[in-house]
Structure 1
Amino acid sequence: MRTGELLGLLRSHQPEIHASFTPDQYIRYQEAVRGLQSAGSDPRAVRVALRRIRVALRPLPPGSELAERIGQSRSPGPGAAAGVLPDADELAALVRLLDSVEWPQLAPASANLFWEARNALLSAPSRGADALDRESADDPAAAGLIRLTGPGGSPRYPEFQFDTGTGGPLPVVQKINRMILADQDPWGAASWWLGRNPWLDGTPAELLGRVPDETLTAAARALTYEGEIAW
């Protein structure tokens, strides 16, 4: 799917996106689209931005038309720069549309579900910054680690990311965290690791060391279509 076709699809499905997302999810989606605008005419930067948009669209209901269209499409090949670069005016129009949305206050039931989901992730075993080496604590994204924000703004690092023997980060976790853009969406990445995965028939974090690293990596690649933008 050419980037111009994607932008038109996102504009036409704006009501669906708005209805499906929480305020935080919508803000991440807005930021991802603005990232595409910032990428300019650099094909590589545009491809990275498109991948971030895909990650931001994960909360779409699986059976929705937009989710189906995205899941069935593929990107132009690496040399097809003309199909990758967006039209600046069309992209600006999408950004204006996204920015025009005024989000209503979440209904109490929806707000409760939202915070219950976050609290469930925070309740999993984790460690604080004091248990990390200085480099990882200063720049967890560069270290390939998921950092969640706990009560009072304290950083929390899910324990499954670390080797029980050495205490250091597991290389397969670092690799997959980068694949699923944990630096952009740490909550979504934590949910992937700690939630049941139909592809693996289990919970990825619980399967560490029990299945080959390549199996976990393949499951992440199936989500992100590593190596190409899945448009």
Structure 2
Amino acid sequence: MTPGEDSGTGVLDLVDEHLDDIRARLTDEQYQLLLTRLRALAGTPPDDPRAVVRAFQAVRLCLVSLPFDHPVREVLDSVRLAGTASVSAPVVLRTQDLLARLTAGPPRPPDTAAIIAAAERRLLHAPALSAAEVRTRYRGSAPPPELIRFADAELGDRYPEFQFKPGGGAPYGVVLEVNRVLLADADPWGAADWWLSGNAWLGGGPPAALLGIRPDRELVGAAVALVEGD
């Protein structure tokens, strides 16, 4: 699939075509997250290309758990995200059409907000550092914005621990690089899910478990393959 009009809308066409199969392969939590991301994309101003790119990337992150040989996943990995910027209106309109068909069908399951909250709680259960602990590592200075940061009403800001080298070290350079690719400043939950979930590009294991084991270029390549489809 080539960049441009056929890229973003083409992915959405395939999602529409294989929707029942996608629903069967995703957990309830994953499927509700996908619907939420689609709604966000449908509500994005079509004249704001950067916002459309961010919203479309969030949809892609919800589909990355599909099997590597799934038709949607195969096309997903071939699309350059940058191509959607020039066709913002078609991508948004196609998403609106898709959602109209979804809402016209049988009622969809339960409380989306509760399912999203459950997904966020799962990520919050991963080992993390407090804001104070991170500031100590930076001698009181603000940590880099590329770090994944969760705002938690009860615990305060939390920084997933996998981002940092063992023994009180600074963040891995490759983590900051990958987080920039994944736009972690805009979608920390999606970026954390990428790091902490299985990844077919990297042999099925979570990328966070491969820090310091697999070459940095492989981790960056797996993130770029998702975002840009190189």
User: TM-score with structure 1 length normalisation?
Assistant: 0.64
Q: Does 1:25 align with 2:29?
A: no
Residue 29 of structure 1 contacts residue 57 of structure 1 at CA under 8 Å; is this kept in 2?
no
Residue 148 of structure 1 contacts residue 156 of structure 1 at CA under 8 Å; is this kept in 2?
yes
Q: Does 1:70 align with 2:76?
A: yes
Distance, in Å, in 2 between the alignment partners of 1:191 and 1:98 is 24
Distance, in Å, in 2 between the alignment partners of 1:211 and 1:8 is 33
Sort the Cα spacing of 1:212 and 1:9 in 2 relative to 1 into closer, same or farther, 3 A. closer
Sequence identity (%): 32
Provide, for residues 84-136 of structure 1, a one-character-per-residue CA deviation record: whole Å limited to 9, x for no partner: 632747743643653675573428xxx78983x65443332111222223533
SS of 1:135's equivalent in the other structure is: coil
Residue 148 of structure 2 contacts residue 179 of structure 2 at CA under 8 Å; is this kept in 1?
yes
SS of 2:180's equivalent in the other structure is: helix
Equivalent in the alignment of 2:99: 98
Task: Map 1:1-231 onto structure 2 (within 5 A).
Answer: 1=2, 3-5=4-6, 6-7=8-9, 10-11=12-13, 13-14=15-16, 16=19, 19=23, 22-35=31-44, 37-39=46-48, 51-58=57-64, 60=66, 62-71=68-77, 73-75=78-80, 85-86=86-87, 88=89, 91-92=92-93, 94-95=95-96, 97-98=98-99, 102=103, 104-106=108-110, 115=118, 118-133=120-135, 135-136=142-143, 143-150=145-152, 152=154, 154-165=156-167, 167-201=169-203, 202-225=205-228, 230=229
Alignment gaps of 5+ in structure 1: 137-141
Higher deviation after alignment, 86-95 or 211-220: 86-95
Give the CA deviation at 1:218: 2.5
Distance, in Å, in 2 between the alignment partners of 1:85 and 1:171 is 32
Higher deviation after alignment, 93-102 or 177-186: 93-102
Distance, in Å, in 2 between the alignment partners of 1:49 and 1:180 is 12
Higher deviation after alignment, 153-162 or 48-57: 48-57
Letter in 2 for 1:121: L
Letter in 2 for 1:30: R
Provide, for residues 147-202 of structure 1, a one-character-per-residue CA deviation record: whole Å limited to 9, x for no partner: 23557474321111123355432221111111123234433322332334444344
Distance, in Å, in 2 between the alignment partners of 1:196 and 1:91 is 29
Distance, in Å, in 2 between the alignment partners of 1:160 and 1:64 is 30
Alignment gaps of 5+ in structure 2: 136-140
Residue 25 of structure 1 contacts residue 59 of structure 1 at CA under 8 Å; is this kept in 2?
no
Instruction: Please report the RMSD computed on the Cα atoms of aligned residues, expressed in angstroms.
Output: 4.2
Give the CA deviation at 1:61: 5.7
Sort the Cα spacing of 1:135 and 1:29 in 2 relative to 1 into closer, same or farther, 3 A. farther
SS of 2:212's equivalent in the other structure is: coil
Provide, for residues 2-58 of structure 1, a one-character-per-residue CA deviation record: whole Å limited to 9, x for no partner: 543342652574371884553333222332454471425xxx776666545533543
SS of 2:159's equivalent in the other structure is: strand
Sort the Cα spacing of 1:66 and 1:126 in 2 relative to 1 into closer, same or farther, 3 A. same
Letter in 2 for 1:66: V
